[in-house]
Structure 1
Amino acid sequence: MKSHFLDDETITDNAIHIPAIGLDLKVYIEPTATQGRATLIETYDAPGFGPPIHRHENETEVFHVLQGRYLFEVNGERKVVQAGETLTALVGTTHRFVNIDDETSRMLVLISPGFDATCFFSQLRDVMADGIPDPVTLARLGAKWHIEFLGPPLKVEQ
């Protein structure tokens, strides 16, 4: 799968690409810049893609949609979130989302406290190099980062 970014070399040069989950990601603010209080990333999600359902032991995530539409599921409740809207997944909540738009959707994700997103997503890319890994491999990575992977990504409902 090719990158979902437009032809902006400054973005693609610094992006983390994870084709197995249709994700291109850019880290804008590392936790070192906020004394560990927050991290800011931007995601570009291909239509029909999103992460497996998971829960963070330490972090709250605030999702602000910049472009497109997503279907989120937080603690079993589903909600469509579109450009200009924000949704929060508090620490410990189960959550996942899927891009329900016909084109790439984008969002900013504020993670608090800060989280080494560059390292985590690089490792996730490596374990997903051949597609979604077996649950044991994903659980091993998650344990290292205090993230519990609980099941598959959301699918676009027909």
Structure 2
Amino acid sequence: MKTDFLHGEQNAAPIDIPAIGLRLQVRIDSKATGASATLLETTDQPGFGPPQHRHEIETEVFHVVQGRYLFDVDGKQTVVSAGETIVAKQGTTHRFINIDDQPSRMLVLVTPGWDATRFFSELGDVMANGSPDPAVLKAFGDEWRIEFVGPPLTMPAELAPDALSA
């Protein structure tokens, strides 16, 4: 039996998307897995997260490495903390927000794999001036078979870091 070792991209150039408070690095590119998976490392700023969206093809597995997030998957909300994992299956609507007072980090496994470097670089261009025109975001999503269906989550007052310490 032959064993293949995947070597992550230790020096992968980070991709920054300030409009959604994201710094992302592709750790294992889909080419290394024969397009079966992609592994990302994300750092999300407090109070930020992506717009609500749905992947036609991919499932995403989010493993929180540091901090806390509020996830919304198909309308069900749950807090996910360091050491915990949540899955957004293919076709589910999902979004999240960093509810910690510091940057939070996740490892995100996407299956099947896809060209995350190109996707997030182009998404950064689309969001360069903040919230993009909905038609532009829709056209971008259509190319990737991802439907953007709503806004990012907002910080619930009861989960805000200052409310938790009171």
| 2:161 aligned partner | none
Q: What RMSD, in angstroms, separates the aligned Cα atoms of the two structures?
A: 1.3
Alignment of 1:136-155 (within 5 A): 136-155=135-154
Q: Aligned to 1:153, what secondary structure does the other structure show?
A: coil
Instruction: Report whether the alignment pairs 1:75 with 2:61.
Output: no
Contact 1:60 1:111 in 2 (8 A): yes
Q: Is the 8 A contact 1:11 1:26 kept in 2?
A: no
Q: Deviations over 1:41-70 (max 9, x none)?
A: 000000000000000000000000000000
Quote the residue 1:36 is aligned against: 35
Alignment-derived partner of residue 44 in structure 2:
45
Residues 66 and 108 of structure 1 are in contact (CA less than 8 Å); yes or no, is this contact kept in structure 2?
yes
Question: Structure 2: any 5+ residue segments left out of the alignment?
Answer: 1-8, 158-166
Structure 1 unaligned spans of 5+: 1-9
Q: Which moved more, 1:12-21 or 1:138-147?
A: 12-21
Counterpart AA for 2:130: G
How big is the shift at 1:11? 7.3
Distance 1:12 1:71 in 2: 29
Alignment-derived partner of residue 132 in structure 1:
131
Contact 1:30/1:40 (<8 A) preserved: yes
Would you say 1:56 and 2:64 are equivalent positions? no
**Amino acid paired to 1:56:** H
- CA distance, structure 2, for counterparts of residue 36 and residue 70 of structure 1: 28
1:4 maps to: none
Taking every aligned residue pair, what percent have the same amino acid on both sides? Answer: 62
Instruction: Give the equivalent residue in structure 1 for 2:95.
Output: 96
CA drift of 1:12 comes to: 8.3
| Residue 13 of structure 1: how far off its partner (Å) | 6.9
1:105 and 2:104 matched = yes
Measured after TM superposition, the shift of residue 17 of structure 1 is 0.3
Distance in structure 2 (CA, Å) of the matches to 1:32 and 1:14: 17
**Matched-pair contact (CA < 8 Å) for 1:44–1:107:** yes
Give me the TM-score of the superposition, normalised by structure 1: 0.92
Q: What secondary structure sits across from 1:109 in the alignment?
A: strand
Residues 32, 56 of structure 1: alpha-carbon distance in 2 compared, 3 angstrom cutoff: same
Deviations 1:135-156 (A, max 9, x none): 1110000000000000100001
Letter in 2 for 1:100: I
| 4+ residue segments displaced more than 2 Å | 10-13
Give the number of the structure whose alpha-carbon radius of gyration is greater.
Answer: 2
Counterparts of 1:12 and 1:49 in 2: how far apart (Å)? Answer: 25
